[in-house]
A and B are shown apart, each in its own frame.
Chain A
Amino acid sequence: MRTARALVGAALVGALVFLGAEATARRVAPTPDPSSYDAPRNPYFLRAWPEYTAPRPPRPADEERIVVLTNSQGYLRERADGRETWPARLEEFLRARGRNAQVLNWAVPGASGAELALLAARAVEHRPEVVLVVSYSENFGPFWRRKEISFARSDVPELAYLPEVRRRLPASFLRSVDAYEPLGWLQAHLTLMDLRSRLFEWRERWTFVPVEPKRPPERKLVLHEARNFALLADLLHPLARARPRPRVLLVAMPLNPEGFEDLAPAAAFAAACRTWAERADWITARDATHLFPADVYYGPRHFRPEAHRAFAEWLLPDVERLLDER
């Protein structure tokens, strides 16, 4: 009995020490500004802006909000200024036309469809008028629906352990991406664990640092064959149930015509987007795969700044129409 008392006593003291450390971590952890384009990036996890894990800010009554779910194409790692990205340009154009619009750029380099589905479930909290999904077959292939969410290199998987996000997603999705990892739960709920990457990365790495632009690829890339885009259904699931329901613009993203061996898988994704648009009147689909010539790209997928501007211009009429339709 004396031993049991000692063990329980020591465990309680240990728990107090740990909780004290966690409370301190919560106090010192920075809170990112959700509307900022120069919020620090976490290079270790290759995540985009961290606003999707931040508390939802109060929203002015007359503001129109657009959430962008995309991959590295919306991230522009080659430049130091997030204001050159096409979501930022889109916001600039909308404001220039007299709209009080805010575009939240949730671009995640290397994002899988599973991560975008989690972000879509999170986006509902922001009550957006429009959700803009710009992606291609590689992000939505069946591989990502079978792979554990903990495999993802961003910190988006943390969202899978927040109750408000989980309840908006289909149970089959949570099962197939194995969103039942205790370590994932801890990662999502302990600020101490979030602070880790800041400790191991020097301060300068937490700011915008441009990366060397990719040269044109020596060999053309091969896209994985993908016919089943079930992850697209998972992504649309929370948006379909949201009230008020946002308009959704599904865009098959522009790709360098000289960067790939065969664009048939990308075309299959564009066709899947069209099918969804035919099924639901709140969804619009556009195919931008062949929108630009090769010389506006850094590599097979990333735009040069001028193409970011051009892409925002291309999107503008559709986005405005969707905003007006509501």
Chain B
Amino acid sequence: MLFNSFVFAAFAPLAFAGHFLLRGAARRWWLVVASWVFYGWANPWYVLLLWTSTILDFFVGQRLGATDDPRRRRLWITASLVGNLGLLAVFKYTGFFARAGNDLMAALGLDWSLPVPELVLPVGISFYTFQTLSYSIDVYRRQLEPERDFSTFALYVAFFPQLVAGPIERATHLVHQLRRERRHLARPEALDGLGRVFWGLTKKVVFADWFSVYVEQVFSNVHQATPLELFLGINAFAFQIYLDFSAYSDIAIGLGRLLGVELMENFRWPYLARNIAEFWHRWHISLSTWLRDYLYIPLGGSRRGRWKTVRNVLIVMFLGGLWHGANYTYVVWGLWIGAALALHRLWSETLGKTVERRVPAPVRVPLAVLATYVTMLAAWVFFRAPDLGSALDYFAGFGGDWADVTGLDTPDARRTMAFLAVAVLAHLARGLGWVRRPTAHWPTWAHGVFWGLLVTAMALLHAPVGEKFIYFQF
């Protein structure tokens, strides 16, 4: 079910009504069933996978809590890892690895090929498998007591506001909130929560979807596009993906707040980051912290010398890229960012400190922000292109005539430039400290005016395409 659909507009009041009318386990079960309906709306069979993951990790958690024997504990955590990663491997990566094997065989000149299964990727599988995995690992590490109540655990896995595209919540943060009996919904939370939902919807249907119209045009005509069109196209995609994904997080956080649950923030103005490491502290925070806590640190993090740190960063970003999708483009995207992170680390250990001392902040900071943004622009080419060849064609297109402005004299290009100008100005205002989030202190009528303006903006400015959220595919 899509947040930006009318089915959801009918579903949400029902889910909320049950939540506020029921008590205790009945309330939790109501939300669990609602979440399963939400997830299975497009394809009810997907719910079976959700149930598999839920039952597996609930059971593993119980067994981990019941034994102190290290061997048994290792056995149970292995069962969780194999089960969850197995689901991902089967549904997400079987085809990719089969194709990769076939490519390798062809490269070696062997006339042998694997059958490539065409499985439909269940929506959001990467998100909830990582969420359940984090629970089992935390219990294994004794950082968390296993959850005894199945309804609470099932709700932790399936909580509909963040089920399909995150934030990837940790049990340590979410479970106790779900277990807690419904408390009084305070006025600021309610008003701010609903405002956040409207804001997220506006970002999605007005900005992200309009950007997608132009992005699609450019990426499907790479060979005909001028360098300026390509440049505008990739800038549009940078903001499309940011606004699209952060819109989903805004809606999830707003809905959670209306249900009395505080979900973690997933984005903090990432394009204001001054280096690539800071970018990853601001972008998809729930995934980057997951990768840090469950992959980077267990690999040794940055404690085992410079080159092992570089190796760890590359491994983590390689897997982070693969998490996004079973395609070489995502692998290259991950490795590109991994390389940038490693270079940044080497830079900050050597020349970076000198530059920081000698170059004044008003010059250094804007240049650093720009350099980080451009690094991500290059990464987004790989992320958006359908295959590596198309990505390389995109880069090759930049070698054309930069003085050719003909492609920019179209309504779509002008609209995209206008929207980009709005986005850049908003970032500039935020970077200079002019934008805060003051809505919590607004009077009730001001919230009403804000909502009315956002709904008006959606009616007047919404894009003609009803695009799915990009991160649904992951």
Contacts and interface: CB of A to CB of B under 8 A. Distances in A.
A7 B210 CA distance: 31
Contact of A3 (B186, B445, B460, B464): B186
Given A6-B190, A13-B448, A205 B411 contact: yes
Interface string B436-463: 0000000011011111110110011110
Contacts of B421: none
A9 interface: yes
A296 B391 CA distance: 44
B451 A10 contact: yes
A196 B460 contact: yes
Nearest to A205: B411
A17 B461 contact: no
Interface string A11-53: 1111111100110010000000000000000001000000000
B460 A6 contact: no
A2 B185 CA distance: 10
B415 interface: yes
B461 A196 contact: yes
A199 interface: yes
Contacts of A18: 452, 455-456, 459
Contacts of B194: 7, 10
Interface centre among A17, A196, A201 (most CB of B within 10 A): A17
B452 A202 contact: no
Contact of A14 (B6, B9, B451): B451
Nearest to A183: B6
Contacts of B184: 3
Contacts of A25: 460
A54 interface: no
A80 interface: no
Contacts of A190: 459
B460 A10 contact: no
Nearest to B450: A14
A183 B186 CA distance: 33
A15 B449 CA distance: 9
B452 A17 contact: yes
A9 B460 contact: no
A186 B453 CA distance: 17
Nearest to B461: A196
A17 B458 CA distance: 13
A14 B452 contact: yes
B191 A6 contact: yes
Contact of B452 (A3, A16, A181, A182): A16
Interface string A186-213: 1000101101110111100100000000
B462 A9 contact: no
A196 B460 CA distance: 5
B258 to A, nearest CB: 9
B415 A3 contact: no
Contacts of A11: 448, 451
Interface centre among A6, A182, A195, A202 (most CB of B within 10 A): A6
B414 interface: yes
B304 interface: no
Nearest to B412: A200
A17 B450 CA distance: 9
Nearest to A12: B448
Contacts of A196: 459-462
A276 to B, nearest CB: 36
27 contacts: A6-B190, A6-B191, A7-B190, A7-B191, A9-B444, A9-B448, A10-B445, A13-B444, A13-B451, A13-B452, A14-B455, A15-B452, A16-B448, A16-B452, A17-B451, A18-B455, A18-B459, A21-B460, A25-B460, A182-B6, A197-B464, A199-B460, A199-B461, A200-B411, A200-B415, A202-B411, A202-B414
Interface of A: 2-3, 6-7, 9-18, 21-22, 25, 44, 181-183, 186, 190, 192-193, 195-197, 199-202, 205
Report the 4 A-B pairs with minimum CB-CB distance, sorted nearest first: A13-B448, A17-B452, A14-B451, A14-B452
Given A10-B191, A14-B449, A200-B411, 16 more contacts: A3-B185, A6-B190, A7-B190, A7-B194, A9-B445, A10-B194, A11-B448, A11-B451, A14-B447, A16-B452, A21-B459, A44-B464, A196-B460, A197-B464, A201-B411, A202-B414
